[in-house]
């Protein structure tokens, strides 16, 4: 056998092996098995943060973080309503995920090195790019957080917010005086009662609290300063790569859907599209679901349930919602934002 023939055979064998590997269907992990066995996704959410996760008087949950779980349930179980909601405070959330009390934590949680590397969890991506800010009474006529020198600031413990406040105060020689509370309701209640000059948390949280709890929202202003980067997103336990893959690719598919103009209303019509990328996302021309251990309509089911990422944003926190937040950094990459997903292919 000539060296050229041997090389050719070797190349062909490698290509065949690679093709075989990529064609292998996903094997279900223990979390996936448990979800399918109980017929329900268990999702840890905030106890009540308007726009992200909050229950109405009938116990119906809504919000950006809620939709993230509903989309996964739709992709895995074919029904977005097959979710058990577990309300968690900041101190409970990581233990609940680590212990298996919840399958996924979708609770306005910042992705940091410490959390990613030492808490036994994997973040599935970013669902909202945020930053920490300050809310103060409008009557003070403050224009910047740097005017808060020596001020008392209400803050919740067990969060990145508390450490960011301390770092910002030290870096800018502001001598800010944190007034720390275990529960967010206690922190916001103290602020509105006048016990603190300001209240600090993620800017999206400030908008939510002002809209929900202030007697007159216009009496409080959110200062323009953002003192941190707060990429918020869901997290799953380490040790189940199959569920990790499903959770992150459902999120990516919702971003890709917006990129290609696939909406909650036009999913059916888009099934007939000649665009191969759309066919892969919706499972009409190519079955990507088998690689995740899901039905070929996994992404289509998720989009039918909650819409694409842009629809989720507008409905829950966008300019026409009660929170009235601008799209900003959370716009698609093609519109000047940071939302960019790996391709479904």
Neighbours of 185 (CB within 10 A): 15
Q: How does residue 22 score in pLDDT terms, banded at 50, 70 and 90?
A: very low
Average confidence (pLDDT) over 111-137:
97
Average confidence (pLDDT) over 237-254:
97
- In this structure, the dihedral spanned by the alpha carbons of residues 211, 212, 218 and 219, taken in order and rounded to 10 degrees, is -140
Average confidence (pLDDT) over 243-249:
98
Sheet holding 121-123, edge to edge: 83-88, 41-46, 104-105, 235-237, 121-123
Q: Which two tokens stand for residue 206?
A: 């400030």
User: For residues 316 and 232, is the Cβ–Cβ distance under 8 A?
Assistant: no
Q: How does residue 216 score in pLDDT terms, banded at 50, 70 and 90?
A: very high
Q: Is the pLDDT of residue 110 over 70?
A: yes
Chain mean pLDDT for the chain: 93
Which pLDDT belongs to residue 29? 81
Average confidence (pLDDT) over 115-141:
97
Which pLDDT belongs to residue 24? 53
User: For residues 303 and 250, is the Cβ–Cβ distance under 8 A?
Assistant: no
Superfamily (CATH H level) for 132-228: Periplasmic binding protein-like II (3.40.190.10)
The CATH code of the domain at 30-129+232-335 is 3.40.190.10
Average confidence (pLDDT) over 332-338:
98
Q: Is the pLDDT of residue 232 over 90?
A: yes
Least confident of 9-13, 261-265, 341-345: 9-13
Q: Is the pLDDT of residue 2 over 60?
A: no
Which pLDDT belongs to residue 16? 43
Which residue from 300, 325, 299, 302 is spatially nearest to 314, judged by alpha carbons? 325
Taking only the tens place, the pLDDT of each residue in 85-108 is: 999 998 999 999 999 999 999 999
CATH 3.40.190.10 residue ranges for the chain: 30-129+232-335, 132-228
Which residue from 72, 118, 97 is spatially nearest to 252, judged by alpha carbons? 72
């Amino acid at each position: 056998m000539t060296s050229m023939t041997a090389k050719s055979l070797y190349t062909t064998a490698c290509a065949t092996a690679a093709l075989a590997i990529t064609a292998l269907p996903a094997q279900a992990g223990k979390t996936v098995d448990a979800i399918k066995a109980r017929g329900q996704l268990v999702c840890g959410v905030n106890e009540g943060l308007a726009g992200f996760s909050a229950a109405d008087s009938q116990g119906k949950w809504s919000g950006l973080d809620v939709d993230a779980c509903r989309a996964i349930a739709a992709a895995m179980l074919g029904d977005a309503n097959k979710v058990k909601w577990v309300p968690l405070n900041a101190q409970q959330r990581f233990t609940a995920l680590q212990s298996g009390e919840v399958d996924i934590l979708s609770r306005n949680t910042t992705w940091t090195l410490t959390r990613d590397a030492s808490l036994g969890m994997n973040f599935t991506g970013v669902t909202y790019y945020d930053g920490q800010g300050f809310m103060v009474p409008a009557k003070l006529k403050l224009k910047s957080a740097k005017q808060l020198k020596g001020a008392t600031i209400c803050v919740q413990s067990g969060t990145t917010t508390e450490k960011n406040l301390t770092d910002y105060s030290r870096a800018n020689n502001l001598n800010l005086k944190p007034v720390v509370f275990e529960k967010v309701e206690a922190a916001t209640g103290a602020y509105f009662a006048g016990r603190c000059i300001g209240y600090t948390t993620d800017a999206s949280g400030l908008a939510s609290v002002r809209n929900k709890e202030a007697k007159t929202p216009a009496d409080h202003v959110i200062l323009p300063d953002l003192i941190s980067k707060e990429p918020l997103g869901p997290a799953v336990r380490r040790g189940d790569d199959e569920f990790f893959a499903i959770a992150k690719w459902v999120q990516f598919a919702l971003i890709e859907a917006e990129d290609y103009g696939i909406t909650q209303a036009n999913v059916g019509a888009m099934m007939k599209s000649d665009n191969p990328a759309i066919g892969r996302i919706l499972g009409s021309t190519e079955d990507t679901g088998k690689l995740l251990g899901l039905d070929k309509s996994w992404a289509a089911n998720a989009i039918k349930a909650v819409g694409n990422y842009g629809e989720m944003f507008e409905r829950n926190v966008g300019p026409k919602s009660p929170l009235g937040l601008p799209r900003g950094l959370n716009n698609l990459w093609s519109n000047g934002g940071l939302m960019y997903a790996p391709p479904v292919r």
